[in-house]
Amino acid sequence: MKRVLITGAAGFLGSHLCDRFIKEGYYVIAMDNLITGDLKNIEHLSANDNFEFINHDVSEHITIDEELDYILHFASPASPIDYLKIPIQTLKVGSLGTHNLLGLAKAKGARMLIASTSEVYGDPLVHPQTEDYYGNVNPIGPRGVYDEAKRFQEAITMAYHTYHGVETRIVRIFNTYGPRMRLNDGRVLPAFIGQALRGEDLTVFGEGNQTRSFCYVDDLIEGIYRLLLSDYELPVNIGNPDEITILDFCKEITKLTGTNQKIIYKDLPVNDPMQRQPDITKAIELLGWEPKVNRADGLKITYEYFKGLSEEELTKVEHKNFDEYVK
């Protein structure tokens, strides 16, 4: 039985990865310090003999006694509000955490996949974004702690690959949605649905002309799985190229939820990317992958998940509003 270590395992994407690897017959070691993750996302796996959970911060030294075949590094705050609230931890998990895990991969002879992000492209001057685009990032802006942590993560991963011969894979993840997202983490989809469910007005930043491309979580996990098992070591975009403006997306959510709240507009946050659309040519050609779930179907599933949350979860306020952090 092959063994895989998944960091950030109690988070949105990490928990879905745990499900996938258990389904594929792997022994899964899940690691998370629960700074943004939630054990409820993986509690359904706790009785499985092929699953174990370790509460640990990957920025500290990591010890795994058993052999490992694969490491998937998904530990990191992932929403703007999170990494503005805990900027040092965000930088450390992308730098020290990645360094620790690459050392572990080297010692174990394991293949390691890192979760990079479309944020390495910053506010892009190239559209759609291809993997050979270097990006337009402000390293000292409010988003710099996340953007530069991920850019460093890619750099040290390639250094370990070229200098130490560690087998590595890099996935650049574009906006992803689905069950187990945190309702109040500040990302646009749960923000809109949460406001709709609470009967609040829906908040759009700027005029809503900025674009995003939303990929359903099952599609993303399939792309990551295929990339891990591929022979390609350079970054690969995984996302859905179906682009939509934030204002139109807000209207879709309003229609989906059957609400009649008004849309209110606030100032656009500093360095908020105006365009996000992946060029997935490499994923199609190298992995035979492209998204299958259309946005309408994926949103219905996600909405049903959020509707099932308790009143406490629905009204829980985790952080201040994003715009309060960037003024």
Phi and psi angles of residue 243, each rounded to the nearest 5 degrees, phi first: -90, 145
Q: Are strands 3-7 and 243-245 parallel, antiparallel or unpaired?
A: unpaired
Q: Are strands 211-213 and 243-245 parallel, antiparallel or unpaired?
A: antiparallel
What is the set of active-site residues? Answer: 146
In the block, tokens 């001057």 appear at 125
Closest CA to 77 of 62, 59, 61, 64: 59
Q: Could you give the CA distance from residue 311 to residue 229 in angstroms, rounded to a whole number?
A: 41
Beta carbons within 8 Å of 291's beta carbon, 6+ residues apart:
215, 216, 219, 239, 240, 242
Closest CA to 56 of 79, 83, 77, 35: 35
In the block, tokens 């952090």 appear at 325
Count the alpha carbons within 13 Å of 235 in the hemisphere toward its beta carbon: 26
Q: Could you give the CA distance from residue 322 to residue 12 in angstroms, rounded to a whole number?
A: 20
Closest CA to 201 of 251, 262, 253, 157: 262
Q: Could you give the CA distance from residue 117 to residue 94 in angstroms, rounded to a whole number?
A: 12
- Between the CA of residue 284 and those of 77, 152, 242, what are the distances in Å? 29, 26, 15
Partnered with residue 61 across adjacent β-strands are: none
